[in-house]
Every structure is written in structure tokens, then in C-alpha cells.
Amino acid sequence: MFSATTQIRVRYAETDQMRYVYYGNYPQYYEVGRAEAIRNLGFTYKQLEDLGVMMPVVEMSIRYFRPAFYDDLLTIKSSLHELPKSKVQFHHEIFNEKNELLNQGIVTLVFVDSTTMKRVDMPEVLHEKLSNFFNKEN
């Protein structure tokens, strides 16, 4: 398993008149979680795009347990439960400062060649970095 955490502070813009963080902002927080998780590997999603591969999302599911509020310092935990091949499934969990689980999201992304717009396998550079975390059976 590969796992990484990062922190984000809720912006005023992200609240709505319910005083909660708008439910549609969490996918953006998950994106930050993924970007920082990949950066932890010594690589960046930006570099991946520079190599001509982009990662559109094909599926997402979220369960919301508790709201986040303005100025909360949130912790985003982003994990891969298995080594990706042609799809990547990120498990995201967001916690508040009391360490309460606010929501849980599973986001599935694929790899697309940005020239042909066809799906491809995970680039070798990313496979190498990730396989260390899933090496038992290998």
C-alpha cells in the first residue's frame, strides 16, 4: 500500500450559505491530495503531463459524514491499495483538526496519451516509483 498525507486550509470562497464547505469542492481537495502523494514519490503530475500523458477521472464516489468549516485545517490522506496498471484508484480521506473523518472518496483515473487521446498503461517512470510499495509478491 502507498499512502501520503497533506494539509489544506479551508478558504472563505469554498464555504456556502449553509456555512459548510460546498460538497462539490471536495474533488478539488482530493486532487491536491493526489498531487502531493505523487510529489512524495519524487515525481509530479505536472511532469507526467509534460511526458504527454494525462489522467482524466472516470469514476468517483464520495461519502460525506461531517462538514468542514471555514478556516479548518484539514488533513487529506490519499492511498493506493494496489499497484495500478491501466487504472489508478485513489482512496482519499479527509480529517479535521479533531481527527474526525469528514468524508471518504474513491477516485478512479486512467492514463491517456495527450496526442492520440487513446488510453495507455501507467508510464514506466511512475510504475517504478510505485512498485516499491507493492513489492511483496513481485
User: Distance between CA 58 and CA 76 in Å, rounded?
Assistant: 21
Specify the stretch interacting with a second copy by CB under 8 A; choose among 38-46, 73-81, 86-94, 121-129.
38-46
User: Distance between CA 37 and CA 93 in Å, rounded?
Assistant: 13
Can 50 be counted among the known catalytic residues?
A: no
Query: Does 63 engage in binding with a second copy (CB under 8 A)?
Result: yes
Specify the stretch interacting with a second copy by CB under 8 A; choose among 67-75, 79-87, 89-97, 125-133.
67-75
CB nearer to a second copy: give 79 or 108. Answer: 108
Element (H, E) at 47: helix 45-50
Task: Output DSSP code: residue 21.
Answer: B
Q: CA nearest 90: which of 129, 135, 138, 32?
A: 32
Contact positions vs a second copy (CB under 8 A): 9, 11-13, 15-20, 22-28, 31-32, 35, 44-46, 49, 54, 56-64, 67, 70-71
